[in-house]
A and B are shown apart, each in its own frame.
Chain A
Amino acid sequence: GQQLNQSPQSMFIQEGEDVSMNCTSSSIFNTWLWYKQDPGEGPVLLIALYKAGELTSNGRLTAQFGITRKDSFLNISASIPSDVGIYFCAGQRPGANSKLTFGKGITLSVRP
């Protein structure tokens, strides 16, 4: 099926640093979502984006819906240890109102 590409698989940063993650596709999406999964838990929605070019913030998190509708990025500023986890992007394709496509996720580690 259609995939969303997230790379690298793992990222290691120092506490206090900013980090940016991309999610790309060869097809367009109507909605982009960013989820975070803590160890042993289910994914939790961080930010939802509905319009091309939309830039949305949630605390230290900022995400953008790419103007081509084929990509999105998530930025975390001033990272803290509790930012550790797996970050998934997800998208909804035109005509697929009932399903989301997920990326494989990026595991973020934050060194104190």
Chain B
Amino acid sequence: NAGVTQTPKFRVLKTGQSMTLLCAQDMNHEYMYWYRQDPGMGLRLIHYSVGEGTTAKGEVPDGYNVSRLKKQNFLLGLESAAPSQTSVYFCASSYPGTATEAFFGQGTRLTVV
């Protein structure tokens, strides 16, 4: 089983460039999430989606946009990358309900120079 797959795994961007991170899950999960992980900060929620066609802001949404056109895919976009967005990005998915166990992808390491 593939689970949650993120592409790309590594990327270097120049300040001001744009890019899209792709997350795909094959578990038929309703909920999907984008987190960023920075040293000493833990996992911080950027945006999330509770179903196809819906998105919502998390804890640190500024500078990012998302889309959930298909249930299995959740895209994270950076329109104009900044050095402060250098981070490791994780996608996760889960079933809805009160027992929310999130399954994570392997991460995308993004460096903005």
Q: A9-B40, A98-B31 are in contact. Are A41 and B96 (CB under 8 A)?
A: no
Per-residue interface assignment for chain B, residues 13 to 52, with 1 indicating a CB less than 8 Å from any chain A CB and 0 otherwise = 0000000000000000001010100001111110010100
A88 touches B42 (CB 8 A): yes
Q: Which residues of A contact B50 (CB under 8 A)?
A: 98
Q: CB of B7 within 8 A of chain A?
A: no
Q: How many residues of B contact A (CB 8 A)?
A: 28
> B106 and A100: CB pair below 8 A?
no
- A45 and B103 in contact, given A88-B42, A102-B43, A103-B42 (Cβ under 8 angstroms): yes
Evaluate contact between B40 and A100: CB separation under 8 angstroms: no
Whether the pair A98, B48 counts as a contact (CB closer than 8 A) is yes
Question: Interface on B for A, CB 8 Å cutoff?
Answer: 4, 31, 33, 35, 40-45, 48, 50, 58-59, 90, 92, 96-107
Known: A92-B98, A102-B35. 18 other contacts (CB 8 A): A9-B40, A35-B104, A40-B107, A41-B106, A42-B105, A45-B101, A45-B102, A50-B98, A50-B99, A92-B100, A98-B96, A98-B100, A99-B48, A99-B58, A102-B44, A104-B41, A104-B42, A105-B42
Report 23 cross-chain contacts, Cβ distance below 8 Å, ordered by A residue.
Answer: A30-B98, A31-B100, A40-B107, A41-B106, A42-B4, A42-B104, A43-B90, A43-B104, A44-B104, A45-B101, A50-B99, A88-B42, A90-B102, A92-B100, A97-B98, A98-B50, A98-B96, A99-B33, A99-B48, A102-B35, A102-B44, A104-B41, A105-B43
